[in-house]
Amino acid sequence: MRLVGWRSEVTLSSARRRRARRESAAGSRAGPRPAPVTTLPAQFDEWQIELHGRRVIYRVAGSGPPVVLIHGMLNSSSHWRSVALSLASEHTVIAPDLIGHGDSAAPRGDYSLGAHAASIRDLLAAIGVDRATIVGHSLGGGVAMQFFYQFPQRVERLVLVSSGGLGRDVSPLLRTAALPGVSGALSLTINPRLLRALRSGGERLRARGVPAGIYLQAIARALAPLENADARGAFLHTLRSVIDIHGQRVSANDRLYLLESMPTLIVWGGRDNTIPLQHGRSAHEAIPGSRFHVLDSAAHFPHLEDPDGLSQALRDFIASTEPALIEDGDWGSILERRSPRSRRLGVAEG
């Protein structure tokens, strides 16, 4: 596996590694031995890449089989820090900033789930990752499912954390944010004074051991980019692609059967008031062989509210499952079994 932009400047392709082993076995006649691959540092390094002329930020930690962490609405790759460092001893962890989120570019363009999934595919292809365990939180869960749907051959396992796209219900706050005119209200509401109040309030609550403090700090981090007009536009385009006044507009429920041969873990916060816990239970029942894990102390941000619990659930799941490999022929077989067809008889009208 080759990762472009890592600190290791001496990264060997698989072909070069095979050649190096042959030369080493041949002894001194093969010439100087190749420099060893540098072990990655135990930190969550930030990198920038230009994809299609646009800036994409991603963070990397560790080494080993790759795990991709996809953040949710108004979040960024930095929110995965605790989980990424926990997994880094056994895995290469890659966390992108979705387009329009974090420090990635926020162009005028397509912010659908399919566009986000394609952007992640392009990032992974550019840094040399062919297949990975894909983990998605909230909106990122919808992106992860769309990634599987579009590129099943690139997915080894799927993990959905308090995921969107599994039912209509969603918090009134998100439904309201999808209304026309919200952009102007956000430009007036989001200001440094509000953000400071949220951060300080979160710090005081956390100091008193109140879990809501973490939630407030997460909101402050999420809202900070919305001071920028381009980021506000990207947020609203993304939001309205999946949510309207009636709730979630996009659902994967009619296609969950496609995951029958994909190791799937569903994790939910037991106190989640943003997306109902029942969405996770129903998806678990619909996906053959899936696993369902509830983190009782967490609400909608398990990776922030209980990173140790989520990390342990991820490690246990990955260690106890074999990576899937779905080829084009396998995909056709899955669809064929669940897609009855019959010939339509009659005389075609001219």
Q: What is the pLDDT of residues 290-300, one digit of tens each?
A: 999 999 999 89
Residue from 71, 272, 284, 306 carrying the catalytic annotation: 272
The span from the CA of 293 to the CA of 202, in Å, is: 27
Of 5-19, 133-147, 175-189, 252-266, give the lowest mean pLDDT range. Answer: 5-19
Residues in the chain: 350
- Give 237's pLDDT tier (boundaries 50, 70, 90): low
In the chain, the percentage of residues whose pLDDT exceeds 70 is 68
Higher pLDDT pick, 6 / 177:
177
Q: Which residues pair with 68 in a beta bridge?
A: 94, 134
pTM to 2 decimals?
0.75
d(CA 240, CA 245): 9
- According to DSSP, the residues that pair with 159 across neighbouring strands are 135, 265
Average pLDDT, the chain: 79
pLDDT surpasses 70 at 200:
yes
3-class SS string, the chain: CCCCCCCCCCCCCHHHHHHHHHHHHCHHHHCCCCCCCCCCCCCCEEEEEEECCEEEEEEEECCCCEEEEECCCCCCHHHHHHHHHHHCCCCEEEEECCCCCCCCCCCCCCCCHHHHHHHHHHHHHHCCCCCEEEEEECHHHHHHHHHHHHCHHHEEEEEEECCCCCCCCCCHHHHHHCCCCHHHHHHHHCCHHHHHHHHHHHHHHHHCCCCHHHHHHHHHHHHHHHHCHHHHHHHHHHHHHHEECCEECCCCHHHHHHHHHCCEEEEEECCCCCCCHHHHHHHHHHCCCCEEEEECCCCCCHHHHCHHHHHHHHHHHHHCCCCCCCCHHHHHHHHHHCCCCCCCCCCCCC
Task: Reply yes or no on whether the pLDDT at 38 is more than 70.
Answer: no
Q: Among this protein's residues, is 101 annotated catalytic?
A: no
Pick the catalytic residue from 101, 137, 279, 300.
Answer: 300
CB 220 within 8 A of CB 198: yes
Q: How many CB atoms lie within 10 A of CB 129?
A: 19
Active site (annotated) includes residue 272: yes
Q: Which residues contact 343 (CB under 8 A, 6 or more apart)?
A: none
265: nearest Cα among 310, 307, 326, 325: 310
pLDDT at 256 over 80: yes
**Residue 19: is its pLDDT beyond 70?**
no
pLDDT (average), residues 240-269: 82
Closest listed residue to residue 155, CA positions, set 124, 186, 193: 124
Q: Of 104, 138, 241, 311, which is the active-site residue? A: 138
Nearest 10 degrees: CA dihedral of 154, 140, 64, 151? 0
pLDDT band at 282 (very low <50, low <70, confident <90, very high): very high
For residues 215 and 201, give the distance between their C-alpha atoms in angstroms, rounded to a whole number. Answer: 10
Check residue 25 and give its pLDDT.
44
Q: Is there a contact between 73 and 103 (Cβ–Cβ < 8 Å)?
A: no
Is 71 catalytic? The answer is: no
